[in-house]
Each structure stands twice: as structure tokens, then as C-alpha cells.
Chain A
Amino acid sequence: EVQLVEAGGDLVQPGGSLRLSCAASGFTFSTYWMSWVRQAPGKGLERVANMGPGGRQIYHVDSVKGRFSISRDNAKNSLYLQMNSLRVEDTAVYYCAREGVEITSGTTRGALDIWGRGTMVTVSS
């Protein structure tokens, strides 16, 4: 079964740090682009960061640049999000998601086809 399982969410004070992890199974993790997407309580979806299969291509949304860092360990089939200098506005459910590809060509579908259940990050004093 294709699966993503996030862990690491917690209650943390403003200015604190957390490291989220995402364990992948059921597919060849090392060949896929992966993303972190967050959703603040009662709000919409925001892509936070994504990373290419080899770990060299990286994108972070402007609001987290310099504070968050996405990384991956293909040997462990795992994706990570290091979150530093956390702010109250970072409070959200954080989802790990896979970028889908066309089976025949391997080209991107431009969409996130597999999502984890999410992990809650609460930043509050």
C-alpha cells in the first residue's frame, strides 16, 4: 500500500524549533518530488516547501525562507522539515505529499496524488 506517515508535530513556544518527519512506503521514494503543505485552522492550503528526487532542487515559500528547511534521506525513505524561529502564524496541520507522475512517461502530473494524514504544529506561549 502506498502510504505517507507524518510525525513530530507538537506544542512549541514562539521562537522554538521542531523537526517534522514523513515516512514513505509502497513506492520508490527516491524517484519522486515531495512536498510539505500546511493548513492553518479553518483556512486553506499552502505549499510550504518541496524537493526534487535527488535532493538538489529545493523550493521554500517566501514566508518560511531562512526559518524552515526541507530535506530527505532516500536510503530511509523519509522526508523532513526542520522548523526554526517558529511563529504563532505557523500553527497548522502539516501534510507530506507526493507529486504524481504519468506512469508511461514519468513526467509530472502537476498535482499531489498521495497525502499523509498530517501532523499538528501549535505555536503558542
Chain B
Amino acid sequence: DIQMTQSPTTLSASVGDRVTITCRASQSISNWLAWYQQKPGKAPKLLIYKASSLESGVPSRFSGSGSGTEFTLTISSLQPDDLGTYYCQQYNHWTFGQGTKVEIK
């Protein structure tokens, strides 16, 4: 199975900061990568699909990039509402990364 590794595990940043989360696949997955945000006690919410396509209704400060084995999720200007845990997911057998917890300083 393809393994997904996210970094960092935890991230603490200030409101307005540019934040980047990385997801690496153990083998090439082309652009079949999605990103989700999960707030405490809630279901995950889709942010990005096919590596860089923004899901409808998601703020434009979120963006995704990458292909092959390395991908990034960027929040251009961190907002208080962005706290939560972020997961990447690849399409082949739907493997998820272990998550990155984003905290607001």
C-alpha cells in the first residue's frame, strides 16, 4: 500500500502568517491527492482535490500544489477559524496521512 507522511505533526502560527503543510507519498500518485480540515468533534471537510482544485465554498486563502510524491497545502494568511487538524489523502486505496494539528499562537 502507498504510505502518506505529513509534516509537521503540529504547527503553531500567528494570525496573518503564511502556513505550509507537506505531504509525501511513498510512490508516485500523479495528482490524486486531497486535503481535508477537521475541527474538534466535527467531521472532516474537503478543501482541495486533485492536488490543486479548490472545493466550492472554500476560502481562496487555501491552495494546494504538487504532483508525483510531494504535495503542499498552503494557507496564505492564517485566520482564527483555521485551527484544526489537516489530513492529506491519496486516491489509491484512500490512504490518509497522520494529520497536522494547526494551532493559533
Known: A45-B44, A118-B43. A110 touches B93 (CB 8 A): no
CB-CB under 8 A from B38, the residues of chain A are 45
Q: Given the complex of chains A and B, what is the CA–CA distance between A42 and B49 in angstroms?
A: 25
Among B49, B55, B95, B99, find the residue whose CB has the most chain A CB atoms closer than 10 A: B49
Do A116 and B50 have beta carbons less than 8 Å apart?
A: no
Do A113 and B93 have beta carbons less than 8 Å apart?
A: no
Interface size on B, residues (CB 8 A): 24
**Nearest CB of B to A11, in Å:** 19
Do B94 and A95 have beta carbons less than 8 Å apart?
A: no
**Nearest CB of B to A52, in Å:** 14
Do A110 and B32 have beta carbons less than 8 Å apart?
A: yes
Contact with A115, one of B45, B87, B93 (Cβ below 8 angstroms): B45
A47 contacts partner chain B, Cβ-Cβ < 8 Å = yes
**Nearest CB of A to B19, in Å:** 20
Q: For residue B44, which residue of chain A has the nearest CB? A: A115
CB-CB under 8 A from A113, the residues of chain B are 46, 49, 55
Do B97 and A110 have beta carbons less than 8 Å apart?
A: no
Q: For residue A35, which residue of chain B has the nearest CB? A: B94
Do B45 and A44 have beta carbons less than 8 Å apart?
A: no
**Nearest CB of A to B103, in Å:** 16
8 intermolecular pairs with C-beta atoms under 8 Å apart: A37-B44, A47-B93, A109-B53, A110-B91, A112-B44, A116-B43, A117-B43, A118-B43
Q: Contact residues of B with A, CB < 8 Å? A: 32-34, 36, 38, 42-46, 49-50, 53, 55, 87, 89, 91, 93-99
Q: Which 5 A-B pairs have the closest CB atoms?
A: A111-B34, A110-B91, A47-B94, A111-B49, A115-B43
